[in-house]
């Protein structure tokens, strides 16, 4: 993001509108936000939450991209179109209500399939966030983003379960810490803020997913135990999406349940992890996208985009995994 040379000052209107957040992350962070263009792929429940959060925050531009039509499941989580007639394109139908959230952000819609876009198309963005996409597309976009120094995010929701992944490449950010310091002239303590410049390195999604879980060591057993259940569970749904080019749906519930049960075994075998990593009845809680789960994962994802763009505060590295069945909302790096 080449914004350093073009850091216009925040206008009084912006200071007023963004008052409560500038007081949290500061003027410089807000200026960086204002310079960022975001491509948001996938406008289901999670995509709508992310769109809302980053448009409210005051980024420069958001492109909403989704080749699919509004469907029955959007009623339970996609608030831009939850009462819109089915059959319209999701991105196009979302653009107008999304724009209303903040007139200062340029919101555009694109009904094309991201798989059909060539690499050049993606280069113009500062951030790409892919929700509801096949794993193979996520990996392709991630690799492309790292080549072009674009911040990459992906995520998805399956009923009570959800995940977020981020790859910020080599990411520099400012870290603030409030420290008690002794004052020279008096004997009392005082709070001082120290700001340091930090660097974190991220891994590629495809490398994370290639992680070898099979070592028969106490260390690996402990690691498996400590890995959030939502990581293994969402792998089953990702596998389903990859194989069938669609998500499990209520209309095909019986058939999809059987397939999910098969895929559970397949994923367990593929990763080489014990059966208890994925509860047998996991499939009961994985249909549709629950609105509160979208809100939680979309809130975390939105905040991570804001952090990445504003280069303020340590980013979560690199999965956020939510399991609404047991209230787990955890951060993990598989390859660590």
- Asked if 176 is part of the footprint of another protein (rule: CB under 8 A), the reply reads yes
285-304 binders of another protein (CB under 8 A): 285, 287-296, 298-300, 302-303
Q: Of residues 32, 34, 44, 52, which one binds another protein by CB under 8 A?
A: 52
- Residue 48 CB, nearest approach to another protein (Å): 10
- Residue 144 CB, nearest approach to another protein (Å): 27
- Asked if 59 is part of the footprint of another protein (rule: CB under 8 A), the reply reads no
- Residue 16 CB, nearest approach to another protein (Å): 5
- Asked if 9 is part of the footprint of another protein (rule: CB under 8 A), the reply reads yes
70-99 binders of another protein (CB under 8 A): 72-73, 75-77, 79, 82-83
181-210 binders of another protein (CB under 8 A): 185-186, 190-191, 193
The pair of structure tokens assigned to 242 is: 């990859």
Measured distance CA(196)–CA(326) in Å, rounded: 37
For residues 11 to 50, the per-residue mask of contacts with another protein, x marking binding by CB under 8 A and - elsewhere, is -x--xxxxxxxxxxxxx---------------------x-
- Stretch of residues binding another protein (CB under 8 A), selected from 121-129, 236-244, 258-266, 325-333: 325-333
100-119 binders of another protein (CB under 8 A): 100-103
123-142 binders of another protein (CB under 8 A): none
- Asked if 225 is part of the footprint of another protein (rule: CB under 8 A), the reply reads yes
Q: Which residue has the tokens 């996520």?
A: 138
Cβ closest to another protein, residue 154 vs residue 227: 227
Measured distance CA(287)–CA(74) in Å, rounded: 12
Cβ closest to another protein, residue 31 vs residue 134: 31
Cβ closest to another protein, residue 137 vs residue 293: 293
């Amino acid at each position: 993001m080449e914004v350093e040379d073009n850091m216009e000052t925040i206008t009084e209107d912006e200071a007023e509108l963004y008052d409560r957040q500038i007081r949290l992350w500061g003027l410089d962070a807000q200026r960086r936000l204002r310079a960022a263009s975001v491509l948001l792929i996938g406008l289901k429940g999670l995509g709508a939450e992310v769109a809302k959060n980053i448009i409210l925050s005051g980024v420069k531009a958001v492109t909403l991209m989704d080749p699919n039509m509004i469907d029955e499941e959007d009623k339970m989580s996609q608030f831009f179109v939850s009462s819109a007639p089915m059959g319209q394109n999701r991105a196009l139908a979302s653009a107008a209500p999304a724009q209303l959230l903040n007139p200062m952000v340029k919101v555009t819609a694109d009904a094309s399939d991201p798989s059909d876009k060539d690499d050049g198309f993606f280069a113009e963005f500062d951030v790409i966030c892919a929700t509801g996409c096949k794993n193979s597309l996520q990996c392709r976009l991630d690799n492309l983003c790292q080549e072009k120094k674009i911040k990459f995010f992906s995520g998805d929701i399956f009923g009570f379960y959800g995940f977020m992944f981020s790859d910020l490449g080599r990411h520099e950010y400012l870290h603030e810490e409030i420290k008690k310091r002794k004052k020279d002239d008096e004997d009392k303590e005082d709070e001082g803020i120290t700001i340091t410049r930090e660097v974190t390195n991220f891994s590629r999604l495809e490398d994370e997913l290639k992680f070898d879980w099979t070592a028969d060591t106490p260390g690996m057993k402990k690691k498996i135990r400590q890995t959030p259940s939502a990581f293994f569970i969402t792998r089953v749904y990702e596998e389903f999406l990859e194989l069938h080019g669609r998500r499990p749906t209520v209309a095909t519930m019986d058939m999809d349940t059987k397939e999910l049960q098969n895929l559970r075994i397949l994923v367990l075998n593929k990763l080489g992890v014990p059966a208890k990593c994925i509860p047998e009845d996991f499939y009961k809680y994985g249909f549709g996208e629950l609105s509160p789960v979208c809100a939680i994962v979309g809130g975390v994802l939105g905040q991570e985009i804001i952090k990445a763009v504003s280069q303020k505060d340590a980013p979560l590295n690199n999965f956020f995994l939510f399991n609404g069945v047991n209230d787990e909302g955890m951060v993990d790096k598989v390859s660590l």
